[in-house]
Amino acid sequence: MPNPTAAMLVIGDEILSGRTRDANMYHLAGELTKVGIDLCEVRVVSDDRAAIMAAVNALRSAFDHLFTSGGIGPTHDDITADCVAAAFGAQIDVRADARAILAAHYARAGTEINDARLRMARIPDGAVLIDNPISAAPGFTLENVHVMAGVPAIFQAMVASVLPKLSGGAPLVSESVRIERGEGDVAGPLAALAAAHSELSLGSYPFSQNGIYGTNIVVRGSDAESVAAVARDLRAQFPGAI
């Protein structure tokens, strides 16, 4: 059986403007690989209601899981929860369980739970809360859409909360082969190996380091023995490869 599939939707003007560098895709990709869920697509959209809704509907229909990051904070431009609710046609309002979590958190901190902070307790009907052990404000899962914070530490904690509840497939393994030859020299043998091993993914990545030019070949797949065999074949074809 093929592995479950996933997409990621990164939401925020700050990502598209270059003011903030996204770290969440890198983390999610690595964690999904470990549990055998294939990350197949990543999109970045602005804080625009129509764009978010369109992306949510397209991606949740095309893949088994959709993970979102960003836009669930207390400010006016944090509109992800409302957009996801609208995409599903679900009602959204401050929910008692989410409010209780925030109230307890801010009471411990001696901080007022004002209207802005209560925005983070607005949860669509039918959603299941995602735990946030760092700043308390929960994310949520609505059917196959997992809505999480954009702050990397909180995003990572939410991913750790969600993944054990999902069914995965065969974890992927990979092996890298460093060949000090250009892609033009590597392309022919690499294409032959790729054709002979359609169950594997063979990626070619050129490098230039300290005056040395070459190609890193990354072999990925769910069968560790096949991955190792192709890596050995590459090293045999290109003496000196490591």
Structural domains of the chain in order of their starting residue, each with its CATH number? 5-165 (3.40.980.10), 173-237 (3.30.70.600)
Work out the average pLDDT over 211-218.
Answer: 94
Confidence band for 5, pLDDT divided at 50, 70 and 90? very high
Instruction: Identify the pLDDT of residue 44.
Output: 97
* pLDDT of 151 strictly over 90: yes
Q: At what angle do helices 80-88 and 49-62 cross, to 10 degrees?
A: 60
Q: Please list, in sequence order, all residues whose beta carbon lies within 8 angstroms of the beta carbon of residue 66, skipping any fewer than 6 positions away.
A: 6, 7, 8, 9, 56, 59, 60, 144, 145, 146
Task: Determine the pLDDT at residue 77.
Answer: 92
Task: Write down the pLDDT at residue 101.
Answer: 97
Q: Which helix (H) or strand (E) holds 86?
A: helix 80-88
What's the rounded Cα separation, in Å, for the pair 104 and 96?
Answer: 12
pLDDT at 54 over 80: yes
Check whether 11 has a pLDDT greater than 80.
yes
pLDDT band at 150 (very low <50, low <70, confident <90, very high): very high
Residue 172 has what pLDDT?
A: 87
Q: How far apart are the first and last CA of the chain?
A: 33
- At 2 the pLDDT is 86
Q: Which residue carries 């033009």 as its tokens?
A: 184
The pLDDT of residue 1 is above 90: no
Alpha carbon distance 225, 179 (integer Å): 21
pLDDT at residue 183 in the model: 94
pLDDT at 25: 97
Portion of the chain with pLDDT greater than 70, in percent: 100
- Where would I find the beta strands (DSSP E) of the chain? 5-11, 38-45, 65-69, 92-94, 122-124, 128-130, 139-142, 145-148, 173-179, 201-209, 212-221
**Residues above pLDDT 90, as percent of the chain:** 96
What integer best gives the mean pLDDT of the chain? 95
The per-residue pLDDT for range 158-170, each reduced to its tens digit, is 999 999 999 999 8
For 44-63, what is the mean pLDDT?
97
**What is the tens place of the pLDDT at every residue in 71-86?**
999 999 999 999 999 9
Contact between 220 and 172 (Cβ < 8 Å): yes
| pLDDT surpassing 90 at residue 64 | yes
User: What is the spatial distance between Cα 229 and Cα 2, in angstroms, rounded to a whole number?
Assistant: 22
Q: Which residue has the tokens 């509840």?
A: 165
